[in-house]
Amino acid sequence: QQPVQSPQAVILREGEDAVINCSSSKALYSVHWYRQKHGEAPVFLMILLKGGEQKGHDKISASFNEKKQQSSLYLTASQLSYSGTYFCGTAYSGAGSYQLTFGKGTKLSVIP
């Protein structure tokens, strides 16, 4: 089951904040966040584990609500370089990172 991302697209002006959500109908073990710029490969941003452990970039924050099976990615004081498509990838109990199920993506456009 593919996780559901919202919104599908968002347009921000530089300096504005955004939240991208990722929801699953199955119990999650971990949630990965990746950003993909047009014509390029996805690049790692953040991993959140059941139990609260996180690893990722200092300038990007995220949360993991185990009760709701939902993760949110917080982008603050957006810069032009934040533009791209953001994907969440979910791993369920017993599954490794090699079996991530990705959402359909959220396209973020930051304009001057």
Partner 1 sequence: NAGVTQTPKFQVLKTGQSMTLQCAQDMNHEYMSWYRQDPGMGLRLIHYSVGAGITDQGEVPNGYNVSRSTTEDFPLRLLSAAPSQTSVYFCASSGTGGAYGANVLTFGAGSRLTVL
Scored b (16 or more CB within 10 A) or e, 60-79 reads: eebebeeeebbbbbebeebe
CB 79 within 8 A of CB 14: yes
Instruction: Determine which residue in the list 34, 35, 72, 75 makes contact with partner 1, applying CB under 8 A.
Output: 34
Scanning 12-20, 40-48, 60-68, 72-80 for contacts with partner 1 by CB under 8 A, the matching segment is: 40-48
Scanning 13-21, 46-54, 58-66, 68-76 for contacts with partner 1 by CB under 8 A, the matching segment is: 46-54
| Residue 84 near partner 1 by CB under 8 A | no
- Supply 87's token pair: 């994907």
Identify which of residues 39 and 112 has a Cβ nearer to partner 1 in the complex. Answer: 39
| Residue 100 near partner 1 by CB under 8 A | yes
Per-residue DSSP letter, 77:
S
> In whole angstroms, what is the distance from residue 87 CA to residue 107 CA?
9
Residues of the shown chain interacting with partner 1 in the complex, contacts defined by CB under 8 A: 2, 29-30, 32, 34, 40-44, 47, 49, 53, 55, 87, 89, 91, 95-105
